[in-house]
């Protein structure tokens, strides 16, 4: 019995130690996780445009999630789908082609290598097939309803509708830890 208590206490200590590395201003709750060398804050119910979400992450010196590997993609998709039960959800990540149309760049300035766009989305000409570029769709999100594939969406509002529709979605902030 004592050993169970000790193990449980150790796990709790380990868990809180990990989260202590995250920016102190961020609420410690089930939406904050440490994975690899980063803290991830999953904003599932507070929906924001890409611009608003990016600014919120920057408040604590973070970025939207920089999904530069299949490993990180798998982790984020798994959390969104299974931990946060968001099967139809979409979540902004830190990738856009705002500066130069059809040239996607991560928020930290690195160019695109690994990518997970759905067919017909994102880069206009890829081995997945050619399609026209999307000048009105410059910001990228993970689409949980499409097995976590990425789609490019309008960053702030969708001008295609008769009444402009704000593009507010869930988002994931990433904070590097030492
Ligand atoms: Ca675009």
pTM (2 d.p.): 0.87
Contact 76, 35 (CB under 8 A): no
- On whether the CB atoms of residues 107 and 94 are closer than 8 A, the answer is yes
pLDDT at 162: 67
- C-alpha of residue 178 to centroid of ligand 1, in Å: 34
Ligand 1 centre from 132 Cα, in Å?
10
pLDDT of 178 reads 73
DSSP H helices in the chain: 2-20, 50-59, 70-78
- Whether 72 contacts 36, CB under 8 Å: yes
Output the tens digit of pLDDT for each of the chain's 178 residues.
666 666 665 555 555 678 999 999 999 999 999 999 999 999 999 999 999 999 999 999 999 999 999 999 999 999 999 999 987 899 999 999 999 999 999 999 999 999 999 999 998 876 666 778 888 899 999 999 999 999 999 999 876 666 778 899 999 999 999 7
The C-alpha atoms of residue 138 and residue 122 are separated, in whole angstroms, by: 8
Eight-state DSSP code of residue 8: H
Question: 133 C-alpha vs ligand 1 centroid, how far in Å?
Answer: 6
Nearest to residue 152, comparing CAs of 121, 130, 173?
121
Residue 124 pLDDT: 85
Neighbouring residues of the ion ligand 1, judged by CB less than 5 Å: 97, 134, 138
At 177 the pLDDT is 93
Measure 38 CA to ligand 1 centroid, in angstroms.
28
Q: How many CB atoms lie within 10 A of CB 134?
A: 19
Class of residue 132 by CB neighbours under 10 A (exposed 0-12, middle 13-18, buried 19+) = exposed
In the reported structure, the alpha carbon of residue 153 is separated from the centroid of ligand 1 by a whole-number distance in angstroms of 8
């Amino acid at each position: 019995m004592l050993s169970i208590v000790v193990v449980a206490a150790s796990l709790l200590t380990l868990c809180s130690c990990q989260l202590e590395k995250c920016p102190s201003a961020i609420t410690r709750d089930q939406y904050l996780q440490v994975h690899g060398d980063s803290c991830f804050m999953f904003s599932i119910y507070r929906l924001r445009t890409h611009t608003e979400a990016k600014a919120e992450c920057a408040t604590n010196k973070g970025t939207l999630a920089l999904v530069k590997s299949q490993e990180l993609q798998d982790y984020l998709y798994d959390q969104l789908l299974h931990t946060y039960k968001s099967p139809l959800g979409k979540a902004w990540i830190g990738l856009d082609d705002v500066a130069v149309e059809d040239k996607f760049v991560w928020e930290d300035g690195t160019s695109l290598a690994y990518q997970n766009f759905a067919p017909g989305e994102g880069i206009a000409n890829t081995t997945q097939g050619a399609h026209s570029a999307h000048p009105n769709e410059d910001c990228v999100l993970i689409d949980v309803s499409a097995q976590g594939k990425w789609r490019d969406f309008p960053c702030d509002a969708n001008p295609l509708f008769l009444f402009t529709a704000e593009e507010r979605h869930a988002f994931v902030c990433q904070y590097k830890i030492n």
